């Protein structure tokens, strides 16, 4: 039978300023307790960086587009505006859905920074992980990628690094040529990598008439995936009201089939016939937005038909994050 650890009532030594720096998990804790960091002050730090943040992009300009670019859009870029402006030697900072080799970030030869959005993050706060990657990319040597790591628990979040008044205008690309400044003269290895990535990308278009709605083309049918900012319960009620009276579609042959739940927001999804293009769905989507606004404003209890419609929508909901 294993012996129990001897207990002591001695007062744990403390650093004078109360700040405990981060060290290796198996190293002695800097507080002087004699225990390993992971069994002492490291426990609180680990909990802080693994606790899930339900809406990591809340408070950023165009939160719905952040969610779409993270989960739905294969190839897109956005120019970012930093609080206080760009550091010397950094001509631009660009958010990209994904980067070559799944790098978290890349500092180009000219000093510009590309920040990847669709990477795995080691903590439960995507915003803090991305902010840590961005800060390191701004200081990296030109021409080098930035590796992933666990962000410090007390590090800044994107909401602190990005200008809240800055524009956020996604540009959706048909391929990943934005990876390299001169794709036409890329090396054979880079050209082959681009060809593979482009072949796997689903054609996607951002609608211009409504916010955060993205049309995509698949072999069997097309879809519209629309990230909405409304509280989930209120939105599902409104969608059920429209669905129950046959007003939830986007035109002939289209159908509201369910929704995703991603980063605290709800993403209704419509099936579209393969011949329906992004341009075709612009007007129907704008008209649906007006119907939805009216349904959202209703305070009446759901009718039996509407409750059944809501149950069907809820049963077809999938959580992405």
Band of the pLDDT at 15, cuts 50, 70, 90?
very low
Q: Considering the chain, what percentage of its residues have pLDDT values greater than 70?
A: 88
pLDDT one-digit tens code per residue, 106-150: 999 999 999 999 998 888 999 999 999 999 999 999 999 999 998
Residue 182 confidence (pLDDT) above 90:
no
- Rounded CA gap, 111 and 132, in Å? 18
Q: Do 222 and 273 meet the contact criterion of CB atoms below 8 Å apart?
A: yes
Query: Model's pTM, two decimal places?
Result: 0.83
Q: Which band of pLDDT confidence, cut at 50, 70 and 90, is reported for residue 33? A: confident
Interval 88-114 mean pLDDT: 96
Q: Which residue has the higher pLDDT, 256 or 31?
A: 256
* Structure-token pair, residue 27: 């190293």
Phi/psi for 121 (5° steps) reads: -120, 140
Q: How far apart (Å, rounded) are the C-alpha atoms in residues 238 and 232?
A: 10
Average pLDDT, the chain: 89
Rounded average pLDDT over 283-294: 98
């Amino acid at each position: 039978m294993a012996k129990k650890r001897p207990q002591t009532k001695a007062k744990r030594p403390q650093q004078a300023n109360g700040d405990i720096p981060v060290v290796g998990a198996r190293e002695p804790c800097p507080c002087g307790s004699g225990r390993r960091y992971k069994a002492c002050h490291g426990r609180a730090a680990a909990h802080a960086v693994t606790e899930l943040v339900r809406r990591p992009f809340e408070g950023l300009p165009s939160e719905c587009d952040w969610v779409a670019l993270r989960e739905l859009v294969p190839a897109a870029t956005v120019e970012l505006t930093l609080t206080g402006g760009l550091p010397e030697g950094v001509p631009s900072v660009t958010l990209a859905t994904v980067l070559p080799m799944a790098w978290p970030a890349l500092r180009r030869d000219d000093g510009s920074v590309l920040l990847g959005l669709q990477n795995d993050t080691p903590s439960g706060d995507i915003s803090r992980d991305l902010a840590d990657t961005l800060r390191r990319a701004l200081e990296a040597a030109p021409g080098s990628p930035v590796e992933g790591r666990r962000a410090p628990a007390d590090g800044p979040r994107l909401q602190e690094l990005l200008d809240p008044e800055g524009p956020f205008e996604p540009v959706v690309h048909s391929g990943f040529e934005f990876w390299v400044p001169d794709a036409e003269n890329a090396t054979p290895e880079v050209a082959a990598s681009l060809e593979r990535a482009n072949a796997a990308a689903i054609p996607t278009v951002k609608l211009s008439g409504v916010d955060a709605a993205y049309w995509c083309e698949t072999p069997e049918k097309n879809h519209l995936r629309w990230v909405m900012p409304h509280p989930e319960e209120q939105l599902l009620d409104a969608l059920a009201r429209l669905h129950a009276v046959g007003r939830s579609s986007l035109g002939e042959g289209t159908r509201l089939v369910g929704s995703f739940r991603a980063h605290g927001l709800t993403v209704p999804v419509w099936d579209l016939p393969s011949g329906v293009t992004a341009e075709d769905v612009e007007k129907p989507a704008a008209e649906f937005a007006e119907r939805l606004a009216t349904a959202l404003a209703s305070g009446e209890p759901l009718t039996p038909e509407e409750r059944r419609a809501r149950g069907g929508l809820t049963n077809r909901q999938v959580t992405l994050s």
